[in-house]
Amino acid sequence: MQNQATQEIKRFHVGARMSEMAVYNQTAYLAGQVSSDDSLDIAGQTHNVLSQIDTLLAEAGTDKSRILMCQIYLSDLNNFAAMNQVWEAWVSAGNTPPRATVQATLAKPAWLIEIVITAAV
């Protein structure tokens, strides 16, 4: 077993402000993912975000069946049912993670949803 001081932190898609994901100690920490197409409705934005999450998890060598925790931020709780319909079709059956969903003012008004994931690698 490696000493924590020598374990590498791997960062993915590093920018000036943030990285899209960091992996440390066999755990992937994803930044809040928002839709790349903010013209979509809540179902479309949710699909878009979940697809981005699938891609990032694959880059880390893991998948949605290994999600440890999910935090969902909705700009409007009236979108809760429609978001859940997409989520339930996507999530790995039998591996549904602990999850919190809250209403929040997102950084860009056109964003309807932001999702933060932590997953085992």
More confident residue, 114 or 4: 114
**Contacts with 26 (C-beta within 8 Å, 6 or more apart), sequence order:** 120, 121
Domain housing 47:
9-120
Cβ–Cβ under 8 Å, residues 106 and 114:
yes
Number of domains in the chain: 1
Is residue 46 assigned to a domain?
yes
DSSP state of 58: H
The pLDDT-based confidence of 90 (bands split at 50, 70, 90) is very high
Is residue 3 assigned to a domain?
no
CATH number, domain of 97, equals 3.30.1330.40
The pLDDT-based confidence of 70 (bands split at 50, 70, 90) is very high
DSSP bridge partners of 67: 119
